[in-house]
Amino acid sequence: MLIRDGIPGLEGVAYLNAGTNGPLPSAAADAMRARAAVEERGPRSGMPYFQEFLALRDRVRGSLAEVLGTSPDRVALTSSTTQGIGLVMAGIDWATGDEVVTTTEEHPGITSPLDVLARRFGVAVHAVDADEVLDAIAPTTKMVALSHVLWTTGKVLDMAVVSARAHEVGALVLADGAQGPGNIAVDPAALGVDFYACSGQKWLLGPNGSGALWVSAEALDRVWPATSGYLSLEGGEVGHFKPTTARLDAGTIDPVTLAGLNASLEWVASLPGGRAAWTQRAHAQAAAVRAALAEIPGVTVGETGGAESCLVACSVDGIACEDVAAGLAERGVLVRFIPHTPWMRVSVGAWTSDDDVERLIDGVRAAA
């Protein structure tokens, strides 16, 4: 298969953990080596170098914008989903008594910044079941902060409905999209959110230390550049922020990292059928995994919220999820378990072969 030929890390294993780190394509590794050679052999100084540095940032921003179905001026470059979330939360003007609604199934990338807001500013954090979010939004709500796709079960939340309800009371909506782009098609504007943070190293198959933050035009002036510096400023002039979301860029991200992320994004786009065909194949394989797991006695499969998701969660009656994951690892099947939950999480990608699916199912059946 053309896809698998371009990802050497798939050799010998069933790679089913893109929800943590996706497999790195050769195109990305080659681009990173080439950029590292430029950094090593050429002077990292002078106008030509600086112009090339800025051009690379613009190119990555454009590639990320294509994935998010938006324009480059709406995208900030970050090192992770967590950093994007932190930039928003740290950039909002908070006051004692402000209220934030979230879910009880959030990653620490949301819960830890919220804990800081509670302890630093006296913000009230209301964590409810994902199905109770709409009822929890009240006139006193200042922000709704929650995942687009729950990292625990792969359930896709109806962000458009959440956003509409939040905006009725004047609240902002911050979406954790760590398990979004590359897993499902994402259009933040259509979702109605104000902020959408995502990772580069997970489903987008980029290197660690890469990510993006999308901000709506209406919300941009409601968040301060929390890491303001030269790259936040128009013409480098203090007091004059860039008019685009680039004002929120998280400083200087290593050009080697940016080169790798861009190469991964461009590689997927260059495959036959582009990202649409990539996503379609991934969803087909995920559906096959979900159906096969559901047929195993004693196995419970997590709900998706009625939407397609390539993150499949399951539990085996009477066996801890970490033990199931460990048993699969011995068979070369790479998944992960979610601590303090019954769920083992399987991340199915366009690279997932029928043999990978068979190895997974055989391993879970043996555990059950």
Domain of 50, CATH number, reads 3.40.640.10
Same domain, 185 and 278: no
**Domain finish residue from 268, 291, 307:** 268
Distances (CA, A) of 146 to 80, 102, 197, 361: 16, 5, 11, 31
**Domain finish residue from 268, 298, 324:** 268
- Residue in the block written with tokens 């699969």: 328
Which structural domain, as residue segments, surrounds residue 335? Answer: 2-19+274-367
Residue 108 burial (C-beta neighbours within 10 Å; 0-12, 13-18, 19+): exposed
Q: How far apart are CA 314 and CA 113, in angstroms?
A: 29
Distances (CA, A) of 245 to 1, 106, 190, 221, 233: 39, 26, 18, 10, 11
How many domains is the chain partitioned into structurally? 2
Same domain, 175 and 51: yes
Same domain, 175 and 262: yes
Could you tell me if residue 249 is inside a domain? yes
Same domain, 296 and 349: yes
**Domain finish residue from 224, 243, 268:** 268
Q: How far apart are CA 211 and CA 250, in angstroms?
A: 10
Same domain, 264 and 318: no
Could you tell me if residue 24 is inside a domain? no
Q: How far apart are CA 365 and CA 361, in angstroms?
A: 6
Same domain, 59 and 8: no
Q: Which two tokens stand for residue 48?
A: 């030509």
Same domain, 49 and 119: yes
Same domain, 355 and 307: yes
**SS3 labels along the chain:** CHHHHCCHHHCCCEECCCCCCCCCCHHHHHHHHHHHHHHHHCCCCCHHHHHHHHHHHHHHHHHHHHHCCCCHHHEEEECCHHHHHHHHHHHCCCCCCCEEEEECCCCHHHHHHHHHHHHHHCCEEEEECHHHHHHHCCCCEEEEEEECECCCCCCECCHHHHHHHHHHCCCEEEEECCCCECCECCCHHHHCCCEEEEECCCCCCCCCCCEEEEECCCCHHHCCCCCCCHHHEHHHCCCCECCCHHHHCCCCCCHHHHHHHHHHHHHHHHCCCHHHHHHHHHHHHHHHHHHHHHCCCCEEECCCCCCCCCEEEEEECCECHHHHHHHHHHCCEECEECCCCCCEEEECCCCCCHHHHHHHHHHHHHHC
Same domain, 259 and 278: no
Q: What is the pLDDT along the chain (368 residues), one digit of tens a residue?
A: 689 999 999 999 999 999 999 999 999 999 999 999 999 998 999 999 999 999 999 999 999 999 999 999 999 999 999 999 999 999 999 999 999 999 999 999 999 999 999 999 999 999 999 999 999 999 999 999 999 999 999 999 999 999 999 999 999 999 999 999 999 999 999 999 999 999 999 999 999 999 999 999 999 999 999 999 999 999 989 999 999 999 999 989 999 999 999 999 999 999 999 999 999 999 999 999 999 999 999 999 999 988 889 999 999 999 999 999 999 999 999 999 999 999 999 999 999 999 999 999 999 999 99
Q: How far apart are CA 82 and CA 178, in angstroms?
A: 8
Q: How far apart are CA 73 and CA 67, in angstroms?
A: 14
Same domain, 246 and 152: yes
- Residue in the block written with tokens 């079960």: 153
Same domain, 238 and 312: no
Contact 16, 334 (CB under 8 A): yes
- What lies within 8 Å, CB to CB, of 47 at 6+ separation is none
Could you tell me if residue 232 is inside a domain? yes
Same domain, 9 and 95: no
Q: How far apart are CA 183 and CA 71, in angstroms?
A: 20
CB atoms within 10 A of CB 339: 9
Residue 91 burial (C-beta neighbours within 10 Å; 0-12, 13-18, 19+): middle
Give pTM, 2 decimals. Answer: 0.97
Here the CATH number for the domain that contains residue 355 is 3.90.1150.10
Could you tell me if residue 40 is inside a domain? yes
